[in-house]
Structures are given as C-alpha cells and as structure tokens.
Amino acid sequence: MLRALVLPVLLLLLWEFVGQSGLIQSDMMSYPSAVAAAGAAALLDGSMLKATQQTIVSALIGLLIGGGIGIALGAWFGMSDAANRLGRVSVETVRPIPSVALIPLAMLVFGFGYGMTIAVVAFACIWPALIITQTAVKQVPRELLEVARGLELGWVRKLFTIVLPDVVPNLFTALRLAAGVALIVAVTVEITANPQGLGYALIVAQETLHPDRMFAYLIWVGLIGWLLNFGLLQAQRRLFTRWDIA
Amino acid sequence: MVQDKPMQRATDMQSPLLSIENVSFSVPVAQGKLTILQNISLNVRQGEFVSIIGGSGCGKTTLLRLIGGLNRPTEGRLMFDGAPIEQPSRRRAVVFQDYSKALLPWRTVTSNVQLALDTDPTPRDAATKKKIIGRLLEQVGLAEAADRFPRQLSGGMQQRLQIARCLALEPKMLLMDEPFGALDAMTRQTLQDEIAKLAKETGMTVIFITHDIEEAIYLGDRVCAMESRPGRISAVLDIDLKFPRDQLTTREDEQFLRYRHELFQYLPKKH
C-alpha cells in the first residue's frame, strides 16, 4: 500500500518543482501547492460547493428519470416479444444519437438552468439501463417464469415478485454504469452550454486564466466520480452477497 | 371452444381425476414437423401414484408439461377434474427437476413457501400463514433451516423446499419431473420414503417422472413405460406391493424383481 504511493508522490513533487522553478512558461501551468490553495479558497467561499450541488442534482435527477425510463422499457421489451419487435426499430433509430448533440435542442426547449442538463443526462442514461435490463430479464430462468405461471400470477405480480427481484443485481450494475454516464454528460453540458455547475466553473477558470483553480475543479470532479462508483460498488456488495453465494 | 371451468364435478369415484385422450405433441422443424408424443391415452384416479419411466428423449417431461398446462397438445385433449387443461393451475403443482432454478434465491426458506400462500386467492391472516408454513417445513424436515437462503442449503434440502412450496398450494395433483435425479443415492432414498409418506397422508394424486425403473416401482401404484421416437406408452403395469414400502425388504421382494424384469424389456438397451 505504502509502496504504491511512492510514484504518485514523486510525480507530485516533480510537478511542484517544475512549476515553481518557472522552467516551463505557460498560461495553463500550475503546481500542486497553488492548486491546493485555489481549491481551498473555492471551497471556503462556497462557490465550489454550490457548483457541486448544481451538477450533482442535475446528474441525479437525470439519472433517475433516464434510468427509470430505461428500466421500464427494458423490462417491457424483455418480458414481451411483441413489445420488443414494436420498439426495437424506434430504439435503434434514436439510440445512436450522441447525447451531447441534443444540447442545442435542450437549450431551446428548457433555456439555461437545471432542465437542460437534466434532459440531456436523462436521454443518455436511458440506453445503458434499457439494454442491461432487457438482457437481464431475458435471462430470468425459464423455471422461475413457469413457477409464476403455476402460481397463476398476473403480469404485474410476476414482474414485481419474480422478474424484478431476479434482475435487481443487474439493475444495480445498470445504475452504476448510468451514474458514470450521468456525471460525464452533466459536466459536458455545463462546459459547453449551461452556465452553472462544475463544468461551468472549470471553463470559467480556464478562460479567465486561473489554471490553479481549473486543476482544483478537475481533481474535485475526478474525486466525485470515484466516490460515486465506490459508494455504489460497496452498496452492491452489501446488498447482494447475502443470498448470492453459490 | 370449451371453457376452462368444471362443467361437471368429478365426484364420482369411477371417473378419473385426469384423463389423457389421444394426445399427440409435435414441434415444427426445418423438414416438416417432429412428433414428440404420439397417441397417448391414460387415465389417473384420484389419490393414485403413477410413475412414468422412459429413456432420455422419450417425451416424458413433455407429457408432464402437457398435464401441467405449460404446453398445449397439438392433437387430442387432457381433462382434469372434468374440465380441459388449457393453462397451468394451482391445483396441479409442478416440482421441477432443477430445484436451484425453481426457487427464489432472494427469499428465505420461509418466504419461499410464503410465496405460495401470499398469491392464494383465499385470504389468510399472518398468524394462519405462519402456522401453515411451520407445519409444512416440519413435514419436509426444514424447520431448522427456516431462515436460511436457498443457496445455503444442500441439493436435497432445496428439493424439499420446492416440495413444501408446492404442498402449500394444497394441490389436487403433484407433478414431479425427475425430482430426485440430481441427488446422491442416500438422499434420494430418504426423499423417496418421504414423498411416499406425504402422498399417503394427504391423499394427493402424484405423477412421478423418472428414468430409474426401481424408483418407479418402489413409489408407484402404477408404472407407465414409455418408448421413444415418437414418444408413446408401451406398457402400463399395476404394482401390487404392500405399503408402507421398505427400502430393503420391498426391493428384495420377488414380486418387485418380477416387475423390474418385465419393465426392463420396454426400456432402450443402450443409453
């Protein structure tokens, strides 16, 4: 563990030294101590927390909406061949649109603010959720579905007592993937168009020639992404190891 | 079309609980169709234990699925308790061979049995359900494991759990598809005696699929032997061995060996 830290620490020290010495002249050059100071300042004056809140709220609401739509459609397509045939062409037509290409449209519809980011994030989150859910529902053991038939369950009951519980571990994987997508897309929308959140803070720092603040935000965004994934992984382990031991 | 409602209750002891009338089942393949079952006819009385044996691929599982209502016959019809079988029913519970896939791994033993009660149209209060579950788990010897999850149980215990869940439906008929095929010999014998006892106690009608001649004779009031390609019934044998049967003495009984001899000729010599 300690030995693994040697290289990063050395690199940081090298960065600090090169930055302080002025060996490289650049408007975008900074060094660790300056980045730390800028980060602390942004944290203390509240601007970083406000931007964080804006980004996370947009990403989470977008994730919930898009993930919900994706899971619902995926479950429907997975359970019914007719629905799958009906929806496949539409899905395959819309899915390849890069989500960020929708930014201008979202801006027209929602204007600046949360709505715009949420809409684009939601669009992007539908697809991983849909595909993973549909695949998982298709893989529910035939025996379980026949147990449901033998119990004379209607489709709502079948969905909630048999199908969804069986695919919950996969839904969690879908959620984890979609959460990563949500953060990426939210920051992208903010960098390119929406004047709020961490993405906007990043681009403002760059355009006003504050590389130290830019790096501080960059590290902060990375940290949030890592924490998000770590938290969801931990939750997944806790929730599903109990009965999943073979 | 005929409705899936009992038009006339089969209370008469003479009329069978299940009657299979000239049933054939085929599936479409590239060159026309493949006949899996051909002209099967069989009557099963209330309370009877019927074993069906046959080599692999003879269609015995398909026959069970038709009785269960999981598949529909291409020709002929199946009547259960006076009404045609058109879909699965809680009155005909199926015990699947692959118990590991038929149990809900996210529910405890208790909760797996409870599923059968919670989905019952007749409402029961929580205390009654708890009592029923307790009695069923006692009956199949799982009382100690009530709070464990299926994957924490041995194969034999998992199959017991599946049986308990089926019993919770209070079915008129229990359909068992090679239920002990995946278990070791010791466990299999124990479970054979348990299911024989349960069937006698509850008066339940049982259709028991197996590829083991001795198991079929040991458990059955009657044994049907099936031949393959296309699947058909080649012999039906009444088993006249006294109850309760015993793993040692029954299997050494001369009559038992004669049955075994007779049925052996109907099965494929090479597997």
Please say whether the beta carbons of A26 and A215 come within 8 A. no
Residue of B nearest to A157 (CA): B119
Task: Retrieve residue A71's tokens.
Answer: 């899971």
In this complex, do B104 and A141 lie within 8 Å of one another by their Cβ atoms? no
Task: Retrieve residue B21's tokens.
Answer: 């009338």
Q: What is the pLDDT of residue B6?
A: 47
Q: Which of A144, A149, A151 sits opposite B116 (nearest CB)?
A: A151
Q: What is the pLDDT of residue A243?
A: 57
* Set of chain B residues whose Cβ sits within 8 Å of the Cβ of A168: 106
Domains (range + CATH), chain A: 41-245 (1.10.3720.10)
Please say whether the beta carbons of A178 and A67 come within 8 A. yes
In this complex, do B90 and A162 lie within 8 Å of one another by their Cβ atoms? no
How far apart, in whole angstroms, are the C-alpha atoms of residue A243 and residue A223?
Answer: 32
* Set of chain B residues whose Cβ sits within 8 Å of the Cβ of A242: 149
Task: Retrieve residue B142's tokens.
Answer: 């799982």
CA trace torsion A197, A200, A201, A206 (10° rounding): 170
Task: Retrieve residue B58's tokens.
Answer: 């003879």
Cα angle for residues B42, B47, B49 (degrees, 5° grid): 60
Q: What is the pLDDT of residue B12?
A: 46
Reported confidence tier of residue A184, pLDDT bands at 50, 70, 90: very high
Q: What is the pTM of this model?
A: 0.78
User: Which is more confident, B106 or A24?
Assistant: B106
Q: Which of A149, A153, A245 sits opposite B151 (nearest CB)?
A: A245
For the segment A165-185, the average pLDDT, to the nearest whole number, is 89
Task: State yes or no: pLDDT of A192 exceeds 80.
Answer: yes
For the segment A32-60, the average pLDDT, to the nearest whole number, is 92
Q: Name the H helices within B43-184.
A: 60-68, 99-102, 109-118, 126-139, 155-167
Q: What is the pLDDT of residue B270?
A: 56
Q: What is the pLDDT of residue B266?
A: 82
Q: What is the pLDDT of residue A18?
A: 85
Please report the number of interchain residue pairs, chain A to chain B, with beta-carbon separation below 8 angstroms. Answer: 59
How far apart, in whole angstroms, are the C-alpha atoms of residue A117 and residue A123?
Answer: 10
Please say whether the beta carbons of A229 and A179 come within 8 A. yes
Please give the share of chain A, as a percent, with pLDDT higher than 90. 56
Cα angle for residues B136, B141, B143 (degrees, 5° grid): 70
How far apart, in whole angstroms, are the C-alpha atoms of residue B240 and residue B224?
Answer: 14
Q: Of A15-19, A81-85, B73-77, where does the model show the most confidence?
A: B73-77
Q: pLDDT by residue for chain B (271 residues), tens digit each? A: 444 444 444 444 568 999 999 999 999 988 888 889 999 999 999 999 999 998 888 889 999 999 999 999 999 999 999 899 999 999 999 999 999 999 999 999 999 999 999 888 888 898 989 999 999 998 888 889 889 999 999 999 999 999 999 999 999 999 999 999 888 888 899 999 999 999 988 889 999 999 999 999 999 999 999 988 889 898 898 988 888 888 888 888 888 899 999 988 887 765 4
Please say whether the beta carbons of B100 and B158 come within 8 A. yes
CA distance A149 to chain B (A): 6
Q: What is the pLDDT of residue B3?
A: 47
In this complex, do B149 and A243 lie within 8 Å of one another by their Cβ atoms? yes
ipTM of this complex: 0.85
Interface probe, candidates B67, B96, B120, chain A, greatest A C-beta count within 10 A: B96
